[in-house]
């Protein structure tokens, strides 16, 4: 018999966060989160997303053993602003037992019905800066710190419980040594002259901060047309600045501004922390911080986390300016492989940006949807 219990304490949240450590203890491809940081993400007093969203956390038990978990999320910005009556769910993990996954999904669906929402979709997070999608291909590749890993049986559970594919994503990688700068070096010089643009270089995080709010504003503008986009609010900007900007090497943040110093393009790249996080085993202390700091300074692999171009400048080659800046930085650092975060299959604009690179899709993932009535 499966028992579902709602998490209502800090110790319960830690149990919720730590369940995958048991589920994937024999996997060499799963990348664990930092437990303390994951708990903060779910803390209503620390994460400002709860100003505009509700979330409830559930654990599934078989006897005294935890066998599954799920976060049920209602994002009111999405529902009221975009008229998307969606019941979100994420952090959905379970043993290979259909009764377990069914019981957890039924809790999510019932909450959706209580709020008179039209459908449930997952796995997704609170917003577009969270992890997304259940992995359907690439189970033999190490995950990243910004994606979920899952066992192959997950997909069958969605399908058997009446869920249909909603969105499809791909993750790509390419060897830096195969990048041919001729594809963007001349173009970026022409683009900078034509539109009076210049690239900003940073060596200190303090140099980035004056532009951070503008970057999040540009993120909202450049991604607004994508399906399921939820804007970043002003209060969330402060949260993300502390959580992400200080964590990224300043030389991996690239901004492009016009003659009036208006931000019209940005990109954020992160060192690949996967192996460091595996060594840290979910803990910063006593040795986890050392592994992460070493990866930040010496990792030869990087992840393209975000790239955004102002709508007025899209399809005008501004990305060539950004790529040229990264080429010089990566060459100096001896970077070997570049990874891309999950990108919507129907996002033609982002696919065009990468057309000159020797990219290979190494993972695919999907979200699943089910109508509640």
**86 strand-pairing partners:** 119
Cα distance between residue 253 and residue 120, in whole Å: 35
With 0-12 / 13-18 / 19 or more C-beta atoms within 10 angstroms meaning exposed / middle / buried, residue 168 is middle
Beta-sheet pairing, 337-340 with 86-94: unpaired
CATH of 175-362, one of 3.40.50.11140, 3.90.79.10, 3.40.630.30, 3.30.70.270: 3.40.630.30
CATH of 2-170, one of 3.40.630.30, 3.30.56.10, 3.40.50.10860, 3.40.640.10: 3.40.630.30
Cα distance between residue 317 and residue 353, in whole Å: 9
Decide if 78 contacts 118 (C-beta within 8 A): no
Question: Do the first three CATH levels of 2-170 and 175-362 match, i.e. the same topology?
Answer: yes
User: Tell me, what's the pLDDT at 234?
Assistant: 87
Find the farthest-apart pair of alpha carbons in the chain and give their distance in angstroms, rounded: 69
Residue spans per domain, the chain: 2-170, 175-362
Handedness of CA 361, 126, 278, 105 (dihedral sign): negative
User: Tell me, what's the pLDDT at 183?
Assistant: 81
- Please give the model's pTM, rounded to 2 decimal places: 0.93
Place of tokens 């018999």: 1
User: Tell me, what's the pLDDT at 67?
Assistant: 98
Cα distance between residue 267 and residue 318, in whole Å: 11
Helix-then-strand count for the chain, H and E: 12, 14
Q: What is the pLDDT along the chain (373 residues), one digit of tens a residue?
A: 999 999 999 999 999 999 999 999 999 999 999 999 999 999 999 899 999 999 999 999 999 999 999 999 999 999 987 788 999 999 999 999 999 999 999 999 999 999 999 999 999 999 888 999 999 999 999 999 899 999 999 999 999 999 999 999 999 999 999 998 888 989 999 999 999 999 999 999 999 998 889 999 999 998 877 766 788 888 888 888 887 787 789 999 999 999 999 999 999 999 999 999 999 999 988 888 899 999 999 999 999 998 999 999 988 999 999 999 999 999 999 999 999 999 998 887 777 788 778 899 999 999 999 999 9
Pick from 289, 291, 298, 309: nearest CA to 350: 309
Cα distance between residue 350 and residue 302, in whole Å: 18
Beta-sheet pairing, 53-62 with 253-257: unpaired
HSE-up (13 A, CA, CB side) for residue 198: 6
User: Tell me, what's the pLDDT at 227?
Assistant: 65
For Cα atoms 160, 165, 170, give the angle at the middle one, nearest 5 degrees.
125
């Amino acid at each position: 018999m499966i028992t579902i219990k709602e998490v209502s304490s800090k110790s319960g949240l830690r149990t919720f966060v730590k369940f995958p450590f048991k589920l994937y203890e024999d996997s060499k491809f799963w990348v664990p989160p930092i437990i303390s940081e994951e708990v903060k993400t779910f803390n209503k007093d620390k994460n400002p997303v709860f100003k505009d969203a509700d979330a409830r956390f559930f654990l599934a038990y078989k006897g005294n053993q935890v066998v599954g978990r799920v976060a049920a999320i209602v994002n009111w910005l999405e529902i009221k602003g975009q008229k998307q009556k969606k019941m979100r769910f994420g952090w959905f993990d379970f043993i290979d037992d259909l009764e377990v996954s069914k019981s957890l999904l039924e809790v999510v669906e019932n909450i959706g019905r209580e709020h008179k929402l039209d459908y449930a979709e997952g796995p997704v997070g609170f917003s577009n800066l969270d992890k997304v999608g259940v992995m359907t291909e690439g189970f033999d590749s190490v995950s990243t710190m910004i994606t979920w890993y899952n066992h192959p049986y997950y997909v069958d559970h969605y399908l058997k419980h009446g869920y249909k594919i909603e969105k499809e994503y791909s993750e790509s990688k390419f060897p830096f040594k195969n990048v041919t700068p001729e594809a963007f070096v001349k173009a970026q010089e022409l683009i900078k002259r034509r539109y009076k643009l210049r690239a900003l270089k940073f060596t200190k995080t303090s140099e980035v901060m004056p532009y951070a709010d503008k970057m999040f504003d540009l993120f909202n503008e450049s991604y607004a047309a994508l399906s399921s986009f939820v804007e970043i609010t002003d209060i969330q900007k402060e949260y993300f600045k502390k959580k992400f900007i200080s964590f990224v090497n300043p030389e991996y943040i690239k901004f492009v501004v016009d003659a009036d110093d208006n931000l019209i393009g940005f990109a954020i790249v992160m060192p690949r922390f996967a192996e460091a996080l595996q060594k840290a085993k979910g803990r910063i202390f006593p040795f986890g911080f050392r592994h992460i700091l070493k990866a930040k300074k010496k990792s030869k692999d990087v992840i393209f986390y975000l790239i955004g171009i102002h709508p007025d400048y899209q399809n005008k080659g501004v990305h060539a300016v950004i790529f040229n800046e990264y080429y010089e930085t990566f060459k100096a650092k001896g970077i070997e492989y570049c990874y891309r975060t999950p990108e919507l299959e129907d996002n033609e604009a982002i696919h065009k940006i990468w057309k000159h690179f020797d990219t290979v899709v190494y993972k695919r993932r999907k979200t699943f949807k089910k109508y509640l009535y």
